[in-house]
Amino acid sequence: MNEKSEQDSQITEAGNEVSTPRGVAVIAAYLKTLPSTPGVYRMINTRGDVLYVGKAKSLKKRVVAYTHPDRQSIRIRRMISETASMEFVTTHTEAEALLLESNLIKRFAPKYNILLRDDKSFPHILVTSGHDFPQILKYRGAQNRKGDYFGPFASVWAVNETLAVLQRAFLLRTCTDSVFANRSRPCLLHQIKRCAAPCVDKVSKEDYATLVEEARVFLSGGSQRIQQRFADQMQDASDAMEYEIAAQYRDRIRALTRIQARQDINLAGLGEADVIAAYQTGGVTCIQVFFFRTGANFGNRAYFPSQARDADVESVLEAFLGQFYARTLPAKTLLLSHDLVNQDLLAEALAVRTGAKVEVLTPKRGDKRKLVKHALSNAREAHGRRMAESASQRRLLEGLADVLKLDGVPERIEVYDNSHVSGTRAVGGMIVAGPEGFMKSAYRKFTIKGAAPRGHSAGAAGFAAGDDYAMMKEVLNRRFARALKEDPDRLGGQWPDLVLVDGGKGQLGIATAVFEDLGIDDVAVAGVAKGEDRNAGREKIFLPGESRAIELEARNPVLYFIQRLRDEAHRFAIGTHRAKRSKAISRSVLDEIPGVGANRKKALLHHFGGPDSVTQAGRTDLEAVKGISKALAGKIYDWFHPDG
């Protein structure tokens, strides 16, 4: 095919024609003035939107390829057809071009580039400074707070697991400085041996400083050294017959041993490395990233780059790495599952970014290859789970994560609502939802215990009937205090990523206060309130620390999803309350009648349709019920009509 016929050609896919002559002409016009130097180019449409960002060792050689659309994929042909103009930036080196390309893709999110959609930063563990009793906490964002940072961790789960070990082994506080300053009694974490309770002087400043230093050593890779120190101290305490102290050291050793046992893919001498593997099938690519720091596994995360359906796995991986390391610093060593065309260039660019040498390797044998194979196995499994999930449900969860500014897509959402009639027979309901929809086997009912009966004033331990805030506080306290006791390390899969409470700022304030009091800082929470005049469709969403509510457009699918969650919680709470009320009515009316057991009560209810009709029935009507004799009918009648 000659150049003329190329430019006049029509490209057809599934019956849709893609006309390229105009775009080819636009691109060809730039060739006369383009240099043969490294740089970055941008394709732009008639509205000024960036369609594509690319890099090149030679801008002229790279751009001329777009004047031959028959050699390009359908995706690139469409891009050519939409191109109305181009922009260029020259760079000194190809490595600089790669870095600039990654930054521009992140900035513009072009329609035709392979994109890494998840731009969340990675969490770290922070041991604060500037306080007599430093706090240990999960931290995300700019590292401008004083203290020592450890990480990055690949996921919130990995941080939570490590924090749980640190709490159990070193008893460091996680509460905020304001909560610490206002404590008058130890919190639940002290009771379950997860905090030394410096807030109420249960530990001296010097002893607490020793705990902090031990935690720093552990996080810096000295876990074996700390474990040996604990073992020596346990033996000394045992020799001195201080068995309670020895038992405390034993428990701390067990905590360290547990996390070491779960480091199932550690490699001696590995040090600092990122292990990255890609698996592709069915037009979907999954990339798994494992972080290793100080010789320990700091967790892994799965990514699914978008707009990558027609690209091979090596191209997707290369595009991913450029964007991934545009927002986070690489380890000293990168271990990849696939060889890349520009692997040396990537190493050079990352060295420019970090100011230190970065090795990019594709191991073919040995222990490092085993690490890559393990990551590849995880990528394959995550790919299978993604393909099995409902695509629409996944989009809703992703949209919800964006609206609520969550760290990631929630796998377990818990929604809470209460139901009562003027404070009587109050119940709380918890519903659960996830990638597969509503998880009805995980629903829970709570009988509110603290409310005073109707007509009675609240006692010291209770609260006034109808106090919705106090009811929500009791439900959340019971749910999460139990979770802390039964699964403090978050290993049972029963901890939510997100809690929604039915109500506005008040109910949200109750939830955040409960979490703060229990030392829980790794569960996102939001309040959902109806709009003006309780108008469904104009809901307001409240987030902690945000003064203004979020209001979504009426047709937003995420709003419909939130309404479904809220309505399901309301339905469940109302249904629980009605069942409880009906059971109480039938029990109070019929259960106390002498001679009326379960079978006769059932016969009476079936015959008359309800307990109220039984109370109003005459003697003859009662005698007509199967199993009710004339004598018993008389007793039942007299029970309800003692005066005649």
Quickly count helices (H) and strands (E) in the chain. 22, 20
**DSSP state string for 472-524:** HHHHHHHHHHHHHHH-TTS-SS-S-SEEEEESSHHHHHHHHHHHHHHT--SSE
> Which residue type is seen at 384?
G
> Tell me, what's the pLDDT at 633?
86
Longest dimension (CA), the chain: 112
d(CA 285, CA 124): 27
Burial string for 45-75 (b: 16+ CB within 10 Å, else e) reads: beeeebbbbbbbeebbebbeebbebeebebb
- Residue 330's contacts (CB-CB under 8 Å, 6 or more residues apart) are 274, 350, 353, 354, 358
- Residue 92's contacts (CB-CB under 8 Å, 6 or more residues apart) are 38
> Tell me, what's the pLDDT at 66?
93
- Residue 541's contacts (CB-CB under 8 Å, 6 or more residues apart) are 403, 404, 526, 527, 528, 549, 550, 551, 552, 562
pTM for the model:
0.60
Burial string for 218-231 (b: 16+ CB within 10 Å, else e) reads: bbeebbeebbeebe
Peptide bond into 410 cis (omega under 30): no
Burial string for 445-460 (b: 16+ CB within 10 Å, else e) reads: bbebebbbeeeeeeee
Q: Which domains does the chain have, with CATH numbers?
A: 3-108 (3.40.1440.10), 273-388 (3.30.420.10), 400-578 (3.30.420.340), 591-640 (1.10.150.20)
> Tell me, what's the pLDDT at 151?
79
Strand order in the sheet with 136-139: 136-139, 124-128, 147-150
User: Which sign, positive or negative, has the C-alpha torsion 24, 26, 27, 30?
Assistant: positive
Cα-to-chain-centroid distance, residue 218 = 26
SS3 388: helix
> Tell me, what's the pLDDT at 577?
54
d(CA 278, CA 472): 45
Strand order in the sheet with 359-361: 296-303, 284-293, 273-281, 333-336, 359-361
> Which residue type is seen at 631?
A
Neighbour count for residue 618 (Cβ, 10 Å)? 11
Counting as low any pLDDT under 70, the low residues of the chain are 1-20, 118-120, 223, 255-269, 295, 389-390, 420-425, 450-466, 491, 531-537, 576-589, 591-592, 642-644
Does residue 303 contact residue 287 with C-beta atoms inside 8 Å?
A: yes
Beta strand ranges found along 151-267 (DSSP E): none
Neighbour count for residue 577 (Cβ, 10 Å)? 21
- At residue 72, what are phi and psi to the nearest 5 degrees? -105, 165
Beta strand ranges found along 32-166 (DSSP E): 39-44, 50-56, 85-90, 124-128, 136-139, 147-150
> Tell me, what's the pLDDT at 167?
82
d(CA 230, CA 165): 14
